[in-house]
Structure 1
């Protein structure tokens, strides 16, 4: 019965936390011990280890959000555009994207990033959503300036102003020749 109970508790914890918190092995090693000096000595370590593990998972979630954002941007660029603008994007644009995410999503949890950026000449890179509604929309627009050439204008829109205002992140120069379509 002890084994059945352990398994049911483990399954319940995994189900309720959606797999975010996994039971530590020290808990299961000391589960059946009562009144022994080993279980009393181990319990303070377990009490301090659990919050530390949760903190590391929260940091990993933040990293994964920005990593997914970067991956979606590079998916949008495709193999023809990415090599030419990647250095400027990583140096100037992406840190501003990280700042915008931190500023507008700091108090929110359960954030998701839309997949499948738009191709052709459409603007959408990715959107960050909270409870299936957009919070921030990150876009890149191709601009043709006479006598100057083509530029990529990176900007975002926020739900707070009904996505009306362009919040500039920066621009990257392409060349005087027309750039390829996105996702190519």
Structure 2
């Protein structure tokens, strides 16, 4: 076989298989001498198939491990978010609004967190921080989630006490995100308190 044709075939095979199949030189020697080399071809094919299977297994395993790690990060943030919410409510407010918060507000809060975190790269997910100092008195802050490396807030969760004429007091749960520089008010829902003035947060 002509040398230029042999080189062209080697380059073509390497290019088309992204280097996973390397041409066996014994094949070319057999072709030059006019002798078939079926045993060598079968052996080479088997070795390359095994290599591809091992490569696929490693890629799948790495992908699964990465996905599991990301899920763990998100789960730990959601757990901390719930803890901070109940810390904010305190023992006087939590028993009154806790059930409604769990049923109506927290699922939307989870969705907002997951949506925000899904836009982050893996490196950022490793260094997330959640504040552990909800504001007391009548302050709005429940917690903020921030990038631990830059210290910049990613999402802020608030609850505002609203007095509505002839109705009484409501708790308005909402959040702000870095994507619009914390300008927009994204509502999660309202929970009715009563016509009486609610206690201060953390009390």
Partner of 1:162: 181
Instruction: Find the residue that maps to 1:147 and give its secondary structure.
Output: coil
Write the distance in 2 (CA, Å) between the matches of 1:119 and 1:99. 26
1:57 deviation in Å? 3.3
Residues matched between the structures, number:
140
Distance 1:144 1:107 in 2: 36
CA distance in 2, matches of 1:69, 1:144: 26
Rounded to whole Å, the distance in 2 between the matches of 1:112 and 1:127 is 8
The corresponding residue for 1:132 is: 151
Structure 1: stretches of 5+ with no match in the other structure: 1-43
Task: Provide the residue aligned with 1:6 in structure 2.
Answer: none
Distance 1:137 1:69 in 2: 11
Q: How does 1:56-135 map to 2 (within 5 A)?
A: 56-108=68-120, 109=125, 110-130=127-147, 131-135=150-154
Instruction: Find the aligned partners of 1:77 and 1:62 in 2 and give their Cα distance.
Output: 23
C-alpha deviation, 1:160, in angstroms: 1.6
Distance in 2 separating the partners of 1:88 and 1:164: 27
Distance in 2 between the 1:163 and 1:49 partners?
A: 39
Q: Distance in 1 between matches of 2:170 and 2:67?
A: 41
The structure whose Rg is larger is 2
- String of CA shifts for 1:95-150, please: whole Å, max 9, x gaps: 11111111222122222111110000000000110131011110000001111010
- Judge which range, 137-146 or 55-64, deviates more: 55-64
Deviations 1:67-98 (A, max 9, x none): 00010011000000001101110111001111
Alpha-carbon contact 2:74-2:114 (below 8 Å) kept: no
Unmatched 5+ stretches in structure 2 = 1-53
Q: TM-score, normalised by structure 2?
A: 0.64
Give the superposed CA RMSD: 1.8
- SS of residue matched to 1:87: helix
Question: Is residue 147 from structure 1 mapped to residue 166 from structure 2 by the alignment?
Answer: yes
Q: Does 2:193 correspond to 1:174?
A: yes
Alignment of structure 1 residues 22-37 onto 2, 5 Å: none
Secondary structure, counterpart of 1:153 in structure 2: strand
CA contact 2:176–2:183 (8 Å) conserved in 1: yes
